[in-house]
Each structure stands twice: as structure tokens, then as C-alpha cells.
Structure 1
Amino acid sequence: MIMQALAVGLACALVKFGAWWGAMGWDRPMVASTITGILLGHPVEGMTVGAALELVYMGTQSMGGVLPQDYGLGGVFGCAFAILATAKPSVAVALSIPFSMLGTLIYDLFKFWATSLITRFQKHLEDHQIGAFKRLWFTQATVYLTMYFLIGFISILLGTNAIKALVNNIPTAVMSSLTVAAGMLPALGMALLMITLWDKKLAPYFFIGFGLVAFFKGTLIEIAFLGAAIAVLAIIGQLTNHKTDKVAATTEDATTSEEEDFYND
């Protein structure tokens, strides 16, 4: 159990490392769950749970400094409990939600402490103490990563057996309800995404995807493949139009310049 707790703690630290340095997207549920699955020795299960969780959190975005849900932490723990408790993806989705909300609270507490260091950062810069500035920055980053490592380590070390017992004792009716709820959550994630992206110009693409699934029983992989091909065609069309407009504008400028030179002569 200690090795599994260390693996989950390391997964939490890696996921947050990718979010801290360069916003590399490691905290997206698909990546976070895959990392967790690899470290626990179940990469296929990690990708499967990650795909399910990605649909749930697809419309969840950070606006400025506000993080509605810590989907990275939700992805790690949802995958970890699905593997360690041998639970279904629907149960993993249900367990992921409270951990994502807990992650938001923890991040807010860390941000409160990190914000209090701003005056010290400013003082080091004013005094030209670059070494002290760097040490304080690395201390802040170390506290950040260590905090998430300990969250993952302690939660798995103390809570896996309890979670496993809880999952094994869930009544059939409740398990069926969780399955239904887990099936609805991806639709909610898609709806949240559509709120920010919806435009009448994009409506035909939405209904094309809906028709492919509803009438032709297409899978998500098939729809994604066709969507990628359509996106490439749209990009090529935009680039062609841009080049045509650019050539037309250059020709017009040249004609205008020749006319001006004629009249000036």
C-alpha cells in the first residue's frame, strides 16, 4: 500500500508540476489519469478513466485566478480509486467530483499564503538581492509540489481501504444510480463547453456530429477523425482565402500607385 500511495503522491506532484511550469496541460483529466495509471501499473485503465473524466470536465476552465474545480486532482484520485478499489468508471467519476472540489479549497489556501509573499519578493528586488529572490521562489514552488504529493500519499495510505469497503457495500440500486449519473455528467460537460463556443456558424458542425452518432451509430473516435479532417479543410480554405485577399490587395495597391504616378507626371 505504501508503494501505491507513493505512486499516487508522485502523480499529484507531476500533474501540478506540469501546471506550474509552462501550463503544459498535465492537469487535464485525460493526462492526469494516464500518468496515474502508468505509475500504478495500469496504463489502459488510466486512459479509460481519463477519457470518461475528460468529458465531465471538458467545459471547466479557469477564468483568471478562479478555478471552479481542480480537475487535475479529480483525475488523479478518480483513476487511483478506480484502479485500487477495482471500481467501475462510473464510480470513479462519482468519486472524482468531491476531490476536485477539495482541490479548489486547498489551492485557495495555498494562494493565500503565496500572495502574502509578494511584499518579500518586492523587497528582494528593490534591494537587488537576486539570490534571495530565487531562493524564495524555489521555496514557494517546493511547498506547492510537496503539498500535493502529501495529499496524494496520505489520502491513499489512509483512505483506500475505506473507499474499497464503501464501493463493495454500495447497494445495486445506488450503483445503478451512479451509473446513470455518470452517463449524464459528460453531457453536462459538453453543455458547459457549448455555452462558451456556441455560434450560429458552428451549428451545422454540431448537428453533423449529432447525426453521425444518432443515425449512423458512429463512435467518438470515428467522429473525432472526421472532425479533424473537416477542421483541416476549413483551415486550408481560410488560408487560401487569406492569400487571395492578400494578392488582390497588393494588386490594387500597385494599380493605385501606377495611376497616381501617371497623373503626377
Structure 2
Amino acid sequence: MTGVSEGSQQRGSLKNEVYRITLWNTLLFASLMGLYYWFARLRLGYTFSAMLLQPVVIAVFVGLLLGNMQTAMIIGAGMQLVYLGVTSTPGGNVPSDPALAACISIPIAVKAGMDPNLAIALAIPFGVIGVFLDQLRRTLNAAWVHMADKHAETANMAGIMRCAFLYPALLGLVLRFPVVFAANYFGQDVVESFLKLMPHWLTHSFEIMGGILPALGFAITIMVIGKKSLLPWFIGGFFAVLYLKVDIMAMAIFGTCVAFLIKGLAKNEGAA
């Protein structure tokens, strides 16, 4: 009886140790993702920060942390296509926040073993939440402007610098870190439970929508460039790769040849 009791205690101790390690890893991962999103949004150099905010770059960070680079990159690359044409409007506002969508959906999808297309579709609402979060940040940051005015009256340069850099950064940490942390800490269990409750037809519908969304990203890119006449080429190439199973490299070579042919024909017509 003593041996059985000792064995049970050892198994119980081992389970507790595994639970503590898992809990620590989850806390650490959620904290790192929250800090990444906050740091990327600090805008420390527009080129550098713009790179960190891209879903495909976030996928590399997630893949390194979770040890599943392939799955993370597949989801991140698909998500990158969706947000390919997202640019800032006057005032720096964006219609969606791809960084928040990626920081939440990619880790959850990788850990839950979610279909990439489904993960891409579920990322869209998080991108919209990021817009409202940024609007709240801008509203609250107005307080530092009035505070800086008071420091300017007394020629307090240190106070002005704090209002310009330190306080907005701390406010961003307070607003942005908890959202990503909570989503990564609690999100996997919530998403898995939600997916189990969803009927198969609804899940499949999200997967189809996730497969089509990259084409929408291409379309937005064309609209941004201003060449609407190129839209059929983008759509045709996308669906050829998706449904005809044409290799991407082969499609790229074919598209390059077609582009040169069209350019040559247009040049000849202009000369005539």
C-alpha cells in the first residue's frame, strides 16, 4: 500500500509540474506577443515599424516561438495577401489593423491546428477591433498635447519630450498589450470550443471565404495603383493557381511573358 501511495504521489507531482511548465510557457508566449505588438506600433522608424507590422513578419516571430515555422508562414503569407493593399488614409487612419489580426489569429491557429483558410477568415474581425483600439489611443493622446502646452509656457523641454514620446508609449502599452495578451492566453480554448459548436457547413463556408480573401487583397492593390484594367489579370492568375493547381513559379513566368507581349503590341500600335 505504501508503494502504491508513493507512486500516486509521484504521478500527481509530475502532473502538477507539467501543468506549471505549461502555464509558464503560455504566460511567457502571451506576454511576448503582447510586447511585440506594442513595440511594432511604437513607430520607431517608419520603414522598420512597417516591416514589423506585416503579417508575414509576425508569422516568422510566431513560428520561432512555437517551433512550427511552416504552418505559421502558410497562414501569415495568406493573410499578407489579404492586407496587401491596405494603406493609411489622410490622418494616418487605416481601414483595418493587420498587425493585431496576425498577432492574435496566427498563434491561435497554429496551436489549435486550424485550417489556414479558416484562420485567415477569422482574422478579419480582429483587424477591425484594432482600428477602434487605435482610435481610442488617438483620443486619449490628446491629453499629452495640452500637457505639453503647459510645459512650453515654462520652457520645460524635458516635460515636452516626455509628452511627445514617453507618455504616448506608455499609454500604447496599457491599451495594446492586454488585448493581445488576453487573446493569446485564453484564445485557444475559446476558439477550439467555438469551432466544436460550429456546424460543418459554416466552418466550410469560412474556409471558402478565407481562400477568396487573398483575391480581394489583390483587387485592393489594383485599386490603389489605379490600374483597374489589370484587375482581370490578377483575378485570373489567382484562381488559376488555386483551382487549376498551376505552380506559382510557372504562373509568374507566364504572366511575365504576357506582360512583355502586351507591352510590345501596344508599342507597335503606337508606332503605327
The answer to whether residue 65 in structure 2 is matched with residue 39 in structure 1 is: yes
Deviation at 1:110, TM superposition (A): 1.0
3-state SS of 1:117 partner: helix
Q: Distance in 1 between matches of 2:180 and 2:219?
A: 31
**Within 5 A, what are the aligned runs for 1:102-251?**
102-136=129-163, 137-199=165-227, 203=230, 207=233, 210=236, 214=240, 218-221=246-249
Q: Distance in 2 between matches of 1:226 and 1:123?
A: 63
Partner of 1:238: none
The answer to whether residue 44 in structure 2 is matched with residue 21 in structure 1 is: yes
The answer to whether residue 107 in structure 2 is matched with residue 75 in structure 1 is: no
3-state SS of 1:87 partner: coil
Deviation at 1:156, TM superposition (A): 2.4
Q: Deviations over 1:96-124 (max 9, x none)?
A: 11111111111111110012211212332
**Contact 2:215/2:235 (CA < 8 Å) preserved in 1?**
no
Using the size of structure 2 for normalisation, the TM-score is 0.72
Work out the percentage of aligned pairs sharing the same amino acid: 25
Root mean square deviation of aligned Cα:
3.2
Deviation at 1:151, TM superposition (A): 1.3
Q: 15, 23, 30: which is aligned to 1:8?
A: 30
**Contact 1:8/1:76 (CA < 8 Å) preserved in 2?**
no
In structure 1, give the amino acid aligned to 2:94. L
Structure 1: stretches of 5+ with no match in the other structure: 234-265
Structure 2: stretches of 5+ with no match in the other structure: 1-22, 261-272
Q: Distance in 1 between matches of 2:36 and 2:253?
A: 30
**Contact 2:81/2:217 (CA < 8 Å) preserved in 1?**
yes
Q: Distance in 2 between matches of 1:224 and 1:172?
A: 35
Partner of 1:96: 123
Change (3 A) 1:66 1:38: same
Change (3 A) 1:207 1:192: closer
Q: Distance in 1 between matches of 2:258 and 2:157?
A: 51
Partner of 2:76: 50
Report the more deviating stretch, 49-58 or 211-220. 211-220
Change (3 A) 1:170 1:55: same
In structure 2, give the amino acid aligned to 1:59. G
In structure 1, give the amino acid aligned to 2:108. F
Q: Distance in 1 between matches of 2:199 and 2:237?
A: 37
3-state SS of 2:94 partner: coil
Change (3 A) 1:94 1:107: same
Using the size of structure 1 for normalisation, the TM-score is 0.74
**Contact 1:7/1:36 (CA < 8 Å) preserved in 2?**
no
Q: Distance in 2 between matches of 1:195 and 1:208?
A: 12
In structure 2, give the amino acid aligned to 1:31. V
Q: Deviations over 1:27-75 (max 9, x none)?
A: 1111123222322332222211110101111122221322211110001
Q: Deviations over 1:67-92 (max 9, x none)?
A: 21111000111101101222111221
Q: Deviations over 1:195-240 (max 9, x none)?
A: 111338x84x974995698499643355568889999x9xxxxxxx
